[in-house]
Every structure is written in C-alpha cells, then in structure tokens.
Structure 1
C-alpha cells in the first residue's frame, strides 16, 4: 500500500539561518534534500504559529484550541465540555516601567517546587473556585464550566518580551489581570522562592495564562485513516481528537518504516511526521552544528524519502521546513530533469 506523507521540521531552513550560512551551504551536497526542493511543486506558506501550522497541515478547518487540545493528550481526566486555559509558571523581571517574561523552560522547576506553588495558588483562590490542574513541573491547566470572554497571547510569542501590551483582553480581562497581580504577590514570599533567592536561582514569581478555548466536535475533521508521529503534546492531542493513530516522533525513516510495517492497523496510509524535538534544539545550534544536522537528516530522512517516492512506497510527499513555501513531490515529478538541483544557498 502506498502512503501519503507530510514531513514537517518547523524552522529548519528559515531565511535568516540560510543567509548566515550562505558560504558553507554553497559547497554542501545533500542530493536528497536538493532533489525534493528542485523537482517538487511549490505552494506558498504564510507565517503562522506552530499551532496554526499544525492544524492546517493536518487538514483541520481552523486552529484547534491550544490548551484544550494539549490537555486532551496530557490529562487522564480531561473533560471536552469544559473551557480550558494553559497556566505556565514563569519569572517576571522588572525592566524600567515594565516586566519581561522568562518562560518556565529556563527556570529548571522541580516537581516538588511546582506542586508546592500550585497548592498555594489553589488554596488562595479556593473561594473563587479557580483550581489549577498539575500536568508537568512547567505546565498547569485551568478548566472552567462556562466559556470565558478572554483573549490571550501564546507563551511562545511573549517569551523574553515586555508583557505590557500582551495582558489578557476581553470582558473578563480585569478579573484575570487581578489574578496575575495577586499571584505575583503570593509567589514572591513563598518558601520556594525564598530558597531560590538564597541559592541565587531565578524566581518563579508569576504565571501566564494562554491558549484559551473549548473543543467543538463539529469543527474537528476526523482522520481515522491517518497517523500523527510527534512528541509534542498539541500534536498528540490533535491526533487523538481527530481519531487518528498517535505515535512518537521517529528517529529515522527506517525506524518509522519499521513501525508502520509492524502496525496492526493497515488501513492507516496517511502520515503526519513532525520532528519537533529537532526544532526545539535549533535555537541553540551553532552554524557548524546546524550543518552537521542537515547532513544527518539527509542520511536519516531526505535520501530515504526520495528513494521511497521513486519506488512508489510513498505516492505523495509534502515537505515543510520553515521556508516561505511547501514542497509537494510525486513520483512523476522526479522526471523533471530540466529542474536542476541548486546549491542550498540559493533556496
């Protein structure tokens, strides 16, 4: 059975990184990747958030509500009838007349610290019936019976920026702004932060609310013939809500092929592969490390993908690597001999 594959590595070949590495890319030979980029049909890709892009690539009508989608894959007692918010413990650093948000990933929050802060928060806001749900040390949730008129900014967008222009808006905004202020006072004097200050560690002195929304089953496109391969909680939740098969992000094409050959659900022939763990590391890579990553991806993915298209194992390959276009390749496209492979510096 032939397979249709969507292969996504967010931001791998963004324009700035390619421009900075122009000299190194001129002599870099990656025939699999270069063939994909040269012979495929191109479709414009407008800038979108990770969540919008994921929803689009998985053929959803619109971006699924972020917190609810993530919670559906992460919480055992998820209730799709509730309105959900993500609540991330963060650090707010004073900077003149504003506060700059440092995301939880930079704070090395232990499970014990996280649960202590969450318990204090829940005790303080018990009268308001606002209760946080623990998921991971750096990620909590809040579920509400009735939808709330609130519009927030994603933690990905606000990280390392001034929060002045990004506080919640909407009819319920005043209450949630007050909640953020009270939380800052509550956490400032907490034993967790007193211990951190003594050690010279960054404080966990606030929270950020984001990803609001409620699941609408009528807006979810069912994908029972599909599989989502990713370690990302949003991706896993999206697959679960769409009734698709969900698996971990494969380490290589061969590892993925082994998984589908051993699958007990042969009806699955559409695959959405997202190497999100690679994307998460891109910001920390030096140019030399990024070049080595491209070489590894050529061996582990791009060359085998091209070979599978040649053999007909894959009859439709859509590749999204963070450029301003997506590449769609079919077996017949490989006969476009007049489309010469270009240096990666020219892509």
Structure 2
C-alpha cells in the first residue's frame, strides 16, 4: 500500500512565535520527517492543493463551486448543468482598526432553516439583478450564471481571518460584484434575522463571500484508489473522479489491517482552523493527538513493511512541503532526528 497524508498547517504559520513548539513531544512524526526526502514549494491554499492533487485544472478560479455542487445538489431538485457556478457562502465580517476581518463557519452555527431565511431576504433584494442564491447546504450557498463573469476571486479559506480589503474580486466584471457585496452587507446589517441571532448570543451573518467559480470539470481521473476524509471538498473531488471515499477511520491500527493494497490519500485537516484563528494551545493539543492516533501507528507500519511509501504533504501561509518516506528510509541510521520547528524556521 502507498499512503499520502495531507495535513494543512502541520507547521504553525506565525513564524514570530517559535514558542508554540516548546516541549512538544512528537517522536514518531519527527523521526518520519527526519528520514524523509523533503521538498518545498510556494505556499498553496488548501483548496488549490486538493485541486492539483486530483488533477483539476484552474479556470479563472479553482472551480470549487461546480465540484461541491455535485454532492450538495443530491438532495435537491437542481440540475447540475454545464452552466457557470459560483459559491456565495455566509460569513461574518468584523472591523478591527482600519481592517475588515472575515470569519467563516468555524466560528458560527447556521441551521438549514436560517440559511433559507437569509437567502430568501437576499434573493428578494437581488431580484432585479437576475441573481438567485441557492442554499443547498446551510454553509455552502450557490449562484448559477448562464455566462462566466470575468472575475477572479480568492478562496474562502485564504480569506479567513484576513483583512479582506485586498482580497475582493478582481477583473473586468468586479465592479458589479463589489456593488452586490456592499449592498448585501447593508441589507444584513441589523436585519431582524441577525437581531434574533444576537438575542440568542449567536454571531451575525452580515455578508457573503463570492469565490470558487467555474464550469463543471470533465473526465476527471484520480491517481488514488481510496480517499479517507471528513472534509467536504475532498469528498466531492472523490465523488466526481469515481474514487472510493470513506470517513476518517476511528482506529488507525484496525484500518491498517483492513487496507494492505491500493493508493490511499487521507485528509487530516483538524489543525487548519486552529492555525488560522491563532489558537495555539488547541493546535498543540491536536498535534499531540495526531502523534498518538496516526504518526506512531504509521511509523510502526513502515517498519513492519505494511506500507511501501508514505508521503506527508502540508501547506500553510508561508510554504508547502512534501516529505516522502520509503520502507528503506527508516534504515538511515546516520540521520539526526530534528525537532519539528527545524522545518518551520528553515524554509
């Protein structure tokens, strides 16, 4: 079996805070990385990385919307035609000094009923623009257009916890979308729906984020035989590429016993939000958990010849990195085991 782990934010993005690595005990992970063949590349957004892993070609944007649509439309009477699709996800904006910061659904809950109510209000306002929001998932809203706008957007992931002033759509048609963006903010500001949320001590849904537009990709072929993930976009990629897909296994040891062939990819994305929202304690604790539940069993599996090749890929705000460990890599007795922060500061 060959195994590819994708672990966004395996390294802490804030390089001015090296103390985050202090006293972290990660012997299996550090041994794996130290005995690997490592290559670095420029920083990559998580969605972009996943698209490239499944050989999805970039259009004006990475076409996330038409891909997740294939999954989200299953329970709805929506024809996933060859039209252009754009994501328009609910977000919370807050003003900090001279910046407008964006928070995604990691910070708030939104029921299906609330999603229908918010999109109903917005659709009534946008009726003259011939634009309709489709809340096919409580946190994933869609717009269908008959022709592609000349628009370049930034993924929601890359805008999360960032000043959005320089991340708004660009391109020949961007003025129209900036106008819609501003109008929707004004519409939702102190709207009765948000007043109800405030009374329940819930964060306001005061904007939407346009991103991930494109046409449905054609004839997608994956190099992976199996995907194991709880992350929605990767599950959708598996769906359109006819790759077998399952949730993350609960027990790595049992999973290794049951899967001894094939080319598997596992998405471990639990560190990402902790890194984005600067939750250093939670990030450390999560990494310790991954050491016990994943890195230790996989290190032993390599030693026991259960895995032919293990690839660990990660990306954060500063760089992307691949670590390839083969069976015989563990016999590199001359290599020095380096601490995790070595890789974070040496890029």
- Do both share a fold (TM > 0.5)? yes
User: Which has more radius of gyration?
Assistant: 1
Q: Distance in 1 between matches of 2:187 and 2:164?
A: 19
Map 1:257-336; keep pairs closer than 5 Å: 257=256, 260=259, 269-282=262-275, 283=277, 285-287=279-281, 290-322=283-315, 325-336=321-332
Structure 1 CA distance for aligned equivalents of residues 156 and 288 of structure 2: 32
Q: List per-residue Cα deviations over 1:131-189 (Å, max 9, x = no partner).
A: 11113333211122222211112222333444333322222222222222332333236
TM-aligned CA deviation for residue 302 of structure 1: 1.6
Structure 1: give runs of 5+ residues left out of the alignment: 262-267
CA shift at 1:211, angstroms? 1.2
For residue 231 of structure 1, report the CA deviation from its aligned partner.
1.4
Distance 1:44 1:181 in 2: 39
Partner of 1:139: 140
The residue aligned with 1:203 is 204
224 and 240 in structure 1: CA distance in 2 versus 1, 3 angstrom threshold = farther
Match of 1:264 in 2: none
Q: Is the 8 A contact 1:71 1:78 kept in 2?
A: no
Matched, 1:34 2:33: no
- Larger helix share, 1 or 2: 1
Output the CA distance in 1 between the equivalents of 2:26 and 2:163. Answer: 42
Q: CA deviation at 1:88?
A: 1.6
Q: How does 1:78-89 map to 2 (within 5 A)?
A: 79=80, 81-89=82-90
Pairing 1:129-278 to 2, within 5 Å after superposition:
129-188=130-189, 190-197=191-198, 201-217=202-218, 220=220, 222-223=221-222, 226-257=225-256, 260=259, 269-278=262-271
Paired residues of 1:230 and 1:274 also in contact (CA < 8 A): yes
CA contact (8 A) 1:229 1:273 kept: yes
Q: Deviations over 1:302-338 (max 9, x none)?
A: 2221222233321111012447532111112222221
Task: Tell me the alpha carbon deviations over residues 188-219 of structure 1, each in whole angstroms, 9 at most, x when there is no partner.
Answer: 3632123345566543222221111112315x
Q: Is the 8 A contact 2:153 2:168 kept in 1?
A: yes
Normalising by structure 1, we get a TM-score of 0.83
Structure 2 CA distance for aligned equivalents of residues 168 and 152 of structure 1: 5
Supply the distance in 1 between the matched residues of 2:118 and 2:34 (Cα, whole angstroms): 53
State the 1:339 CA deviation. Answer: 1.3
CA RMSD of aligned residues (A): 3.0
Shift of 1:39: 1.6
User: 1:247 Cα deviation (Å)?
Assistant: 1.2
| Contact 2:310 2:326 (C-alpha < 8 Å) held by counterparts | yes
Question: Are the structure 2 counterparts of residues 19 and 233 from structure 1 closer, same or farther at C-alpha, using a change threshold of 3 Å?
Answer: same
- 1:265 corresponds to: none
Partner of 1:55: 51
For the 8 Å contact 1:84–1:212, the answer to whether it is kept is: yes
CA distance in 2, matches of 1:127, 1:50: 35
Distance in 2 between residues matched to 1:48 and 1:198, nearest whole Å: 39
CA distance in 1, matches of 2:22, 2:103: 34
- In structure 2, what is the Cα distance between the partners aligned to 1:93 and 1:227? 40
Q: Is the 8 A contact 1:184 1:206 kept in 2?
A: yes
In terms of mean alpha carbon deviation, does 190-199 or 144-153 score higher? 190-199
CA pair 199-338 structure 1, distance change in 2 beyond 3 A: closer
Deviation, structure 1 residue 29: 5.6
| Native 8 Å contact 2:271 2:283 kept in 1 | no
Decide whether the 8 Å contact of 2:94 with 2:101 is kept in 1.
yes
Kept after mapping to 1: 8 A contact 2:314/2:320: no
Gaps of 5+ in 2: none
- State the number of aligned residues: 333
Contact residue 80 and residue 214 of structure 1 kept, 8 A? no
Return the offset for 1:292: 4.5
